[in-house]
Each structure stands twice: as C-alpha cells, then as structure tokens.
Structure 1
Amino acid sequence: GQIVSRDELAAINEKVETIGGAAAKGRKPKPATAQTLLLGITKASLKSESFIAAASFQETTKVLTEASLSGRLDKLYGLKENVILGHLIPAGTAFKPHLELKVAHLAEPPVPKIFAEEVRQVEDVEARADAAVKEALGID
C-alpha cells in the first residue's frame, strides 16, 4: 500500500472508471480502496506534495537530498512554498484565475491634452526635416 491524498485516490479511481472495466492481463480493473490514516504533525508535513514545504519543517537535508536524487519537481501550488521563495501567494488577488482576468473598460481612457505651442513646434521640426531631406536629394 501507499499513502496518498484523497485527491490522488479520486483521480486514480476516475481513471479506472473511464477505462470502463476493460480487461488488463485477463482481469477487470477495480477501483482502489483506502483507509483513513491520521499522521502526526511531523509525518504529515514530511508527506507534503511540496518538498520545499516539507524541508522547511524538519529533516531539511534529508528531504532536499531525497528530492534532488529522485529528480522531484515542486510546482509551487501551496502558500508556504511561495512565501519561502518570496513569490506572490496563490490566494486573493494573486490567485491564478484572478491574475488572468481581462478587465473591460466601460469608458475611454482620458486623452492627454496637447497644447497649441507644442503642436506648432512639432510641425516646425517636421517641416525643417522635410526641407533638409529634399535639399539633400536635390528635390525642389
């Protein structure tokens, strides 16, 4: 047996149900069964899906060594590992669906006022540039 979370157990059983009872080596697959297991605080934290969160609690060198040797990847889904790394926590306004929201503005953004003097200066510069180009090309 293995120690898995309820979510993992549900995902595994869902896969078995989608197979629809197709035979695997002569036997139909059966959904996995489970028993609830109450772990102490130390063991529960070390069983965390995030090795960064587990390493922050206890047995840091052991957790990090095992994670590096097995090539584990931490997806940084939890609050604790994001706080440790100094990232935005996935909650509130930093919750991923909130970050991907596109806001539609109901009103046009204010257009900056351009003063007549600035417009005249820009037009003068453009006219001088055009004249210089024409002179350089020998165009009247």
Structure 2
Amino acid sequence: MKEFILICGGVFGTLAVIFGAFGAHGLKNYLDNDQLKSFETGVKYQMYHALLLILVGVIFPFQGLSQNLMGWFLVVGIILFSFSIYGLVLSSAKGRKIAFLGPVTPLGGLLLVMGWILFTINVAGVVDSF
C-alpha cells in the first residue's frame, strides 16, 4: 500500500503540473474567467493532496486500518474532487454540462477532509490499533 500511495502522489503531482499548464495556456481562449478559476481550483487541490500523499507515504508504514483508510480517502477524494471539477468545467465550456458531476465534487471534498482527519489522528498517535 505504501508504494501505491507514493506512486499515486507522483502521478497526481505530474498530472497537476500538466493540467495546470494546459489550463493556463491551452484553455484560456476557450474558458471564461470563472471557468478558469474553477479549473485552477481543481489543479491546486490536486497538487496539495499529491504532496500530502507523498508525505504520508514517507512517514507512515500503512499498517492498520486507519492508515489504509487515510490513503484510500485521499486517492479517491482527489479523483472525485479534482477530476469532477475538470469534467464540469470542460463539459460546460462545450455547452453540455455533465450534471451528475455536480454532487461528486463535494463527495470528493468530504473524502479529502476524512483523509486529513485520519492523518491528524495518526500523526498524533491517538490510536495505535485502529
């Protein structure tokens, strides 16, 4: 699991750089300012959480339920949060907004929050066997 988390951190970080450049240069003529800001929010959160994945992959052994849940919450949270924003922005720019992605974004955000809570619990050593 530890290697998986580190690989996900590297992949998500790489994609954040690529998507950030794509948004700043390739999409600026196709998106309005609000859409660009939303796209940028997805990129920023993806990068923040890619860095968090790398951090947790370095400091935790991923033994026990709480550390494994933390990893899964962060990985799935990044996908649901950031990638739903990308989908919403790009589909709306084409005039065909994919409506079902709207509720996906806050679900991804909730998973990210839960990942941060488990990170804090694990760093604080609140539980050893959870």
TM-score (norm 1): 0.23
TM-score w.r.t. structure 2 length? 0.24
More helix per residue: 2
Bigger relative contact order, structure 1 or 2, given CA contacts below 8 A and separation 6+? 2
